[in-house]
Amino acid sequence: MYLHCTADSAFLRPQSPLKLVVGSGSSGGFYSPSDPGGVNSSRSWFTYEELIQATDGFSERNLLGEGGFGCVYKGILTDGREVAVKQLKIGGGQGEREFRAEVEIISRVHHRHLVSLVGYCISEHQRLLVYDYVPNNTLHYHLNGRGRPVMDWALRVKVAAGAARGIAYLHEDCHPRIIHRDIKSSNILLDRNFEAQVSDFGLAKLALDSNTHVTTRVMGTFGYMAPEYATSGKLTEKSDVYSFGVVLL
């Protein structure tokens, strides 16, 4: 299967054109299929020992967050690059599937409003993903964190527009289309300039152009989930649009 991503749709294109980075050996935005294991070889592979060193032994002071998926730690690679290391809980097949899905999808695309995958680690029962570190926490934190100043409207519009560009890129400019399936405020990261980056592709699905929808097991976050998807399991890009609408509320 080939995945092709082009520039932003005209409706959401910012004043300056977005830079599209293509993988090694690629041209015109075409990405070669990854190897049978589901991991694109153009990204870096890390040993578990390297990530232990980068995170100072996964120390608590480097803990950025945790949830049902596992924990995220801040790390510094040997070249000084700051990264976020996502250590997944692999309990049964679901965790393994989410790991494969996230590497398979996010390693194929690059966009200023999507979090960038640096590499991954597979070591016995350990599954880790390494991302560029996004230093300004999540939209959820800035909206709901205790003691946080109220975000003004200009900043809210900037964040919303950035996230919308990232989502539109997945839906309109990637072939096959990518449905994120878990759009929510805690999956929108913010950099120092409050530019949004959509993250967490563990539940994402590829939608072949010949299909009007994808029938799949219902997964996501209640409250953000589109009701027609929750009741029927029929997934479309509109499911992401509904979830994004909840974020805007």
Which residues are catalytically annotated?
A: 182
Tokens found for residue 115:
């979090």
Task: Name the strands in the sheet holding 30-31, side by side, starting at the edge strand that comes first in the sequence.
Answer: 30-31, 3-5, 174-175
Residue with tokens 């070591």: 123
| Rounded CA separation 172/150 (Å) | 33
How many CB atoms are located within 10 Å of the residue 215 CB?
9
DSSP state of 32: -
How many CB atoms are located within 10 Å of the residue 9 CB?
13
Identity of residue 99: F
Residues 6 or more apart whose Cβ sits within 8 Å of residue 55: 62, 73, 74, 75, 85
Report whether 248 contacts 143 (CB < 8 A). no
Residue burial 56-86, b: 16+ Cβ < 10 Å; e: rest: eebeeebebeeeebbbbbbbebeeeeebbbb
Exposure of 22 in the CB half-sphere (CA atoms within 13 A): 14
Q: Is 184 annotated as a binding residue?
A: no
Rounded (10°) angle between helices 153-172 and 237-248 = 180
| Rounded CA separation 134/72 (Å) | 12
- Annotated binding residues for ATP, written as ranges, equal 86
- Annotated binding residues, written as ranges, equal 86
